[in-house]
Amino acid sequence: MSTPHNSAKKGDFAKTVLMPGDPLRAKYIAESFLDDARLVNEVRGMYAYTGTYKGKPVSVMASGMGMPSMGIYSYELFSFYDVENIIRIGTAGGISEKIRLRDVIMAIASCTPSSFADQYGLPCRPAAAASYDLLKKADEAAEGLGIKAHVGTVLCSDTFYTDTGSLADWRKMNVLAIEMESAALYYTAARTGKNALCICTVSDCPLTGEECSAEQRQNSFNDMIKIALETALLC
């Protein structure tokens, strides 16, 4: 089985897939955390690997940036490759006053101005929510690792550069952070009857101008990866 975007064969993917946006981060995870990792896709440079973590099969595949890209790859994994769980791992911009650089956030829900869900023809846009089972397992994994993780709502935006709107308004709604893929993943998981969770590391705080250095991004983001991998063990 292959698609225009994925040359992997049926059975090449594990039941749980970690999805960073960056193909090079997918490569890093495979080489640094998985045993016997093998490349199963490189179409359009969207690297995908399958290996084992503590003896359990786990896959990692890049999603690219934005909801359209996440929508394509998550739908194909869920629908054509028998994947049951997708855990997005990526970066986010902190919005809430209680969020600091390098904090880990688990998105229980994702609010979005995107029209992504209009395709379903519903009378209103459905809630984009994480799978409770995955969220519960991730919370247990974080506690077992001794890593503090914030659980709350994120904002999923279609635009990285924008001329309108204020993140301060979203802060008033207790939104923790902003990123660009979670809503599409959550909608796709709901539509296909599968499980999804977004775990992010705060790389910058747009309202204060703070941002992580390249070294901090490399060294601190491993906490998020470890939580996702330990969650995969529980699936």
What's the CA gap between 6 and 3, in Å, rounded?
A: 5
Quick: pLDDT tens for 145-199: 999 999 999 999 999 887 766 899 999 999 999 999 999 999 999 999 999 999 9
Quick: pLDDT tens for 193-217: 999 999 999 999 999 999 988 777 6
What is 16-234's CATH number?
Answer: 3.40.50.1580
Cα 230 to its chain centre, rounded Å, is: 15
Q: Considering only CA atoms, which of 18, 154, 155, 33 is closest in space to residue 73?
A: 18
User: What global pTM score does this model have?
Assistant: 0.96
Q: Which residues are catalytic?
A: 204
Q: Delimit the domains of the chain by residue range.
A: 16-234
Contact between 220 and 102 under an 8 Å Cβ cutoff? The reply is: yes
